[in-house]
Amino acid sequence: MHRITYRVKVSTQSASRRLKKFVGKTRSDMNTTSKPAVFNRFSTTKKIVQLSSIALLSLPAKSLTTTGNGVHAFDRVMVNKSLTIASVPGDSTFFATDNFQHGFGYDLARSYANELEVSINLKTYTTDAQALAAVKRGEADLALTTSSTQEINKFALASMNLSCGQDAKLTANGLHPKVSWTFADADDPLSQKASHFLCDNVKVENTQKLAAFYNQNLLKDAYNQQHFNKALSDRLPDYQSLFKEQASEYNHDWQLLVAMGYQESHLNANAISPTGVKGLMMLTNSTAKAMGVSDRVDPTQSISGGARYLEEMKAQFADVPQTDRLWFALAAYNMGPNAVKSIQRKLEAAGQDKNSWANVYAYLSDHAKSNGRYVQCMHYVSNIRSYLESIKTQTV
């Protein structure tokens, strides 16, 4: 495999100087004024960034910058402290319904934005071509799409696969093998740093683990899909009002409680496991008592107990960003909050972000062979995510 090496000199100070120069020349032509920021978190660095020819699909020799006026997208991102992403909803890009926003490509973009210490601004488009055009016009800093190489080349843009050449890992998890980030200019530090970010050896491994969390194969199996749809049509009508009532009581998404109920018992109010957990939400005896549940097989009490316990788990992780808090709460619901917090402490000691679900999931995956509870937790959270997405895309 041929490798292309770039030597990059980047600092936010130089970005600010370039932007100042540009603003000074064009201020009279602009509708809004830009106030250059002072940056002290980044110092001038020299980095060797190795980009595989697989990761970087389109390399225009001299493509336009995102503004078309000589200002790199990186400059604008660092000054505005915001990374604007143009994308189309999909299994491999992002899912967003009822303020429930997440996704494989979206989570990677959030992680990249965190590394740059900027916020993320997601713009939704109907087609990949529209998202690519937004980057070409400078209305977005990158496009998150599953566009073909041919379509990207029509816009003379620079693109890189999120798998960094490990397409088979995405396919195995039901994700699109060519989901990519596309930039206006291959020479822009924003795209060069992104390539280094994605193709770092550790990052490639973690990307594969994130793909496992966003596995799309669960309900593509005919048997699982039929069983799931049958439970929603035959059993859910008996409990739907209870789910909505308890969701309102404890400030939850009622469809989330349904997804949890299906994961726990397949919406069977009389379910009993070999370990003694019972009911629609499969509460242990100790949890039921703590939640004021006297009859675990009573649907109303079971749903109420599960909703109340989930609320407590969310409160335990109130410092986790909203985008990841649900996954933390579900993991804690499954194996207890202390187990999750123990993992957080280990991540923090290793210099990693303890409030990133991607990091927690990677830890669970890395230690799954030595702890069966971790395997169960991984499946538990991933399955509920899959069920919830499916419920939200159906008319229930």
pLDDT tens track for 25-48: 433 343 433 333 333 333 333 333
Mean pLDDT in residue range 16-30 = 44
pTM for this one? Answer: 0.81
Residue of 117, 139, 245, 264 marked active site: 264
Last residue of a domain, one of 213, 236, 261: 213
Range of the domain at 237: 222-392
* Domain identity same for 160 and 280: no
pLDDT: is 55 or 83 the higher one?
83
pLDDT: is 43 or 317 the higher one?
317
Helix axes 201-213, 104-116, angle to 10 degrees: 140
* Domain identity same for 139 and 244: no
Point out the least confidently predicted range of 132-141, 196-205, 235-244. 196-205
State how far the alpha carbon of 390 is from the alpha carbons of 9, 172, 198, 236, in Å: 46, 20, 29, 14
Mean pLDDT in residue range 324-352 = 97
Indicate the number of domains in the chain.
Answer: 2
Is pLDDT at 325 greater than 80 in this prediction?
A: yes
Is pLDDT at 57 greater than 60 in this prediction?
A: no
pLDDT band for 55, please (50, 70, 90 cuts). Answer: very low
Point out the least confidently predicted range of 17-21, 88-92, 108-112, 391-395. 17-21
Q: Which of 169, 195, 198, 190 is nearest to 108 (CA)?
A: 198
86: phi then psi, degrees, rounded to nearest 5: -100, 125
Mean pLDDT in residue range 106-133 = 96
* Domain identity same for 148 and 197: yes
pLDDT for the residue 96: 87
* Domain identity same for 349 and 260: yes
What percent of the chain clears pLDDT 90, i.e. is strictly above it? 77
CATH for 202? 3.40.190.10
Is pLDDT at 5 greater than 70 in this prediction?
A: no
Q: What's the whole-number average pLDDT of the chain?
A: 86
3-state secondary structure the chain: CCEEEEEEEECHHHHHHHHHHHHHHHHHHCCCCCCCCCCCCCCCEEEEEEEECCCECCCCCCCCCCCCCCCCHHHHHHHHCEEEEEECCCCCCCEEECCEEECHHHHHHHHHHHHHCCEEEEEECCCHHHHHHHHHCCCCCEEEECCCHHHHHHCCCEEEECCCCCHHHHHHCCCCCCCEEEECCCCCHHHHHHHHHHHCHHHHHHHHHHHHHCCCCCCCCHHHHHHHHHHHHHCHHHHHHHHHHHHHHCCCCHHHHHHHHHHHHCCCCCCECCCCCECCCCECHHHHHHCCCCCCCCHHHHHHHHHHHHHHHHHHCCCCCHHHHHHHHHHHHHHCHHHHHHHHHHHHHCCCCCCCHHHHHHHHHHCHHHCHHHHHHHHHHHHHHHHHHHHHCCCC
pLDDT for the residue 101: 85
* Domain identity same for 21 and 170: yes
Which residues, 6+ apart, have CB-to-CB distance to 171 below 8 Å?
177
* Domain identity same for 170 and 242: no
CATH for 352? 1.10.530.10
pLDDT for the residue 271: 95
**Residue 264 is among the residues annotated as catalytic for this protein:** yes
Mean pLDDT in residue range 114-141 = 97
Is pLDDT at 17 greater than 70 in this prediction?
A: no
Is pLDDT at 121 greater than 60 in this prediction?
A: yes
What percent of the chain clears pLDDT 70, i.e. is strictly above it? 81
* Domain identity same for 143 and 282: no
pLDDT band for 23, please (50, 70, 90 cuts). Answer: very low
Last residue of a domain, one of 194, 213, 232: 213
Q: What is the pLDDT of residues 172-216, one digit of tens each?
A: 999 999 999 999 999 999 999 999 999 998 899 999 999 999 999
Point out the least confidently predicted range of 34-43, 87-96, 103-112, 237-246. 34-43
pLDDT for the residue 395: 52
pLDDT band for 70, please (50, 70, 90 cuts). Answer: low
* Domain identity same for 251 and 204: no
pLDDT for the residue 158: 96
Mean pLDDT in residue range 101-108 = 95
Last residue of a domain, one of 166, 181, 213: 213
Mean pLDDT in residue range 318-344 = 96
* Domain identity same for 241 and 276: yes
* Domain identity same for 209 and 275: no
* Domain identity same for 267 and 325: yes
* Domain identity same for 241 and 185: no
Q: What is the pLDDT of residues 290-311, one digit of tens each?
A: 999 999 999 999 999 999 999 9
